Amino acid sequence: MTSSEDDEKWMSYALLLAEKAAEHGEVPVGAVVVRDGKVLGEGWNKPISGHDPSAHAEIIALREAAANIANYRLVDATLYVTIEPCTMCAGAIVHSRVKRLVFGATEPKAGAVISNGQVLDQPWMNYRVHYQGGVLAEDCSGCISAFFQRRRDEKKIAKRLKQQAGQSGS
């Protein structure tokens, strides 16, 4: 399998994890840490259900991977994530010594790899992570867009029902 085929395979897996987040009402982001063709850790967004602002998919996957190998250094591992990591996650990726980051869609508002801040390229970072974006970007972006469209539609329906209930109660 070529590297790009591997990247697409693991990004597809991360997308399945993102769907689990959506099923639980979380923003659909999935992440998987892979080394030597084996999953070391995986995760999906859980900040709402976990009452934990740090429970991003990447953080959960990194924690699980580190626990599974009993080492906080994830040397020679690749992290696949469906959306460009935020500043917090970019910092954790550096500290974990992940060799490579592969993400799907960019995140214009909070992405900190290429969209804003370019955290991984800062000269003051004490470790260099190789990164690549755009793997299955349309699928990853579509997953997020569909989630937020459903949320907007649900809010409109709830508002309409509330208005109708108010009218019938008068």
Which active-site residues does the annotation give? Answer: 58
Kind of pairing between the strands at 38-44 and 30-35: antiparallel
Determine how many CB atoms are found less than 10 A away from the CB of residue 17: 23
Strands (E), the chain: 30-35, 38-44, 78-83, 100-105, 130-132
